[in-house]
Amino acid sequence: MKSSEMQRETLKEAYSPEQFRAAGHHLVDQLADHLTIMFNSEEPKVLPWQTPDQAYQRVKELAQTDAQTVFKETLANCIRLHHPHFTGHQISPPLPTAALAGLLADLINNGMGVYEMGTIGTAFERYVIKTVAHQFGMGEQADGVLTSGGSLGNLTALLAARRSKSSHDVWNEGNQEPLAVMVSEQAHYCVDRAARVMGWGEQGVIRIPVDDDFRMDTQSLGRHLQQSREAGQTVIAVIGSACSTATGSFDDLNAIADFCEANDLWFHVDGAHGAAVSFSEKHRHLVAGIERADSAVLDFHKLLMTPALATAIVFREGHNGYQAFAQKAQYLWSDPESETWYELARRTFECTKTMYGLKVFSIIAEYGTSLFEANVDSLHALSVQFAQLINDADDFELLIQPQTNIVCFRFLGEPMPSVNSQPLNELNQRVRTALIEEGRFYIVQTDIEKSTWLRTTLANSATTLEDLRQLLERIRGLAQTN
């Protein structure tokens, strides 16, 4: 065993500013080279595929190396969000400025739960929340917090909804009645998870059918409310999807707002992906009615070029944000009853929080919110062009006209198999697996009813229509050989 003197020396060396300076410069150089290579498409692979066991084996070997080797190997083996062929899940290629903010946040590690542990970070967070509330068209009294992802944001909103709309004090007494929320059957799975976390079980989510464009059939809300009440359930909220995950469809938020107002229900908007359109003059209409929501969530890491995670949860009446968690923690807060905006942990699940606000704020300070608008607009325009490309091709089928940067389609092959047939599903599944293993394009898949569709999220402003033309061509090629 080392003497405590030696241990102290080892620790001192591990914190060496000079080593940090040298390693940091080297890493930033490597990252800048990585960006150049990706943007110039000098690297053929967006996804250097390896099986989970291969990856784990390599990691065990890396444990015997050093941090520089680990960084280099990470870059060589990661999925590359800045590659123009990254068109998979809904996550942004981060802006370098925001990534630098992340490095800064990690090094200073301000804990944020209490004001003293993150004075400037707390103020960044407030500025970002007020900016989002303004974009949503909510008034001065709107307020909220940043949290770790849309899933946690939605759970936080529903905890506040429960506090506000349940006739019992569930926080202190536990569930006394079968509570439920109503949401489109196309909603993200985290809503179902939130209901189960709150102890409402499978019954806690009432799934509202969708129309041909996968938007909630708001006409049927009344019937479902009636049926649930007859079944002894207490519905407390309706959640609008803006947009849905699989197809990028925006529910009619004004119709949901009308319904909630008429029936004294909480109105929450899951805008994790699509509420970003509120930054765009051209596309803001898609979330018309969000200003009437009791609460709404927006992920900066989906469409707004921010490294994961950075989720805003905004309450139209800011004081409702204090209702989600109403605990006393004397050692943290001077007056647990008062609504002090700067004691952030009172309103989030996290106790120690990272400085989410710094990443977003640094983008706003450097480029203004017009950069968010530029990203939303250009990705939407590319999606429309891609949809046209698919429509023009006889051997592909477009699922629906895209409303945002999510485009779903499938390969029909030659000769054309019968629609919805199992062979067609298997063909598309095989092609996607082959694409992944080859690594030159990254797309995902989704099952709609019983059909498999290829799904792209055009997340990268460096992607061109030519890249997407090549994608379709590669699908044709792989379909021949797989």
Ligand X SMILES: Cc1ncc(COP(=O)(O)O)c(C=O)c1O
Cβ at position 217, least distance to ligand X in Å:
18
Cβ at position 118, least distance to ligand X in Å:
22
Cβ at position 289, least distance to ligand X in Å:
16
Residue number, 341 or 347, with CB nearest to ligand X: 347
Contact predicate 441/471, CB 8 Å: yes
Q: Which residues contact residue 143 at a Cβ distance below 8 angstroms, ignoring those fewer than 6 apart?
A: 129, 130, 133, 314, 315, 318, 319, 321, 341
Both tokens of 366, joined, read 């450097």
Q: What is the rounded distance in angstroms from the CA atom of residue 47 to the CA atom of residue 436?
A: 7
Residues that bind ligand X (CB under 6 A): 90, 149-151, 188, 190, 241, 245, 270, 272-273, 299, 311
Cβ at position 197, least distance to ligand X in Å:
13
Cβ at position 309, least distance to ligand X in Å:
6
Q: Which residues contact residue 453 at a Cβ distance below 8 angstroms, ignoring those fewer than 6 apart?
A: 399, 408, 409, 410, 428, 445, 446, 447
Cβ at position 395, least distance to ligand X in Å:
29
Q: Which residues contact residue 285 at a Cβ distance below 8 angstroms, ignoring those fewer than 6 apart?
A: none
Q: Which residues contact residue 291 at a Cβ distance below 8 angstroms, ignoring those fewer than 6 apart?
A: 136, 137, 138, 316
Residue number, 162 or 273, with CB nearest to ligand X: 273
Q: Which residues contact residue 36 at a Cβ distance below 8 angstroms, ignoring those fewer than 6 apart?
A: 42
Cβ at position 190, least distance to ligand X in Å:
5
Cβ at position 188, least distance to ligand X in Å:
4
Contact predicate 408/250, CB 8 Å: no
Residue number, 111 or 149, with CB nearest to ligand X: 149
Cβ at position 249, least distance to ligand X in Å:
10
Burial (Cβ within 10 Å: 0-12, 13-18, ≥19) of residue 31: middle
Residue number, 235 or 272, with CB nearest to ligand X: 272
Closest CA to 58 of 73, 80, 36: 73
Residue number, 121 or 150, with CB nearest to ligand X: 150
Residue number, 179 or 309, with CB nearest to ligand X: 309
Residue number, 273 or 380, with CB nearest to ligand X: 273
Tell me which amino acid residue 415 is: P
Nearest-CB residue for ligand X: 150
Contact predicate 278/303, CB 8 Å: no
Q: Distances in Å between the alpha carbon of 400 and those of 129, 252, 377, 423, 453? A: 33, 17, 19, 22, 11
DSSP-assigned states of every residue in 431-448: HHHHHHHH-S-B-EEEEE
Residue number, 256 or 389, with CB nearest to ligand X: 256
Angle between helices 67-77 and 52-62 (to 10 degrees): 160
Residue number, 343 or 347, with CB nearest to ligand X: 347
Q: What is the rounded distance in angstroms from the CA atom of residue 159 to the CA atom of residue 170?
A: 10
Residue number, 83 or 188, with CB nearest to ligand X: 188
Cβ at position 322, least distance to ligand X in Å:
23
Q: What is the rounded distance in angstroms from the CA atom of residue 290 to the CA atom of residue 268?
A: 9
Q: What is the rounded distance in angstroms from the CA atom of residue 301 to the CA atom of residue 278?
A: 15
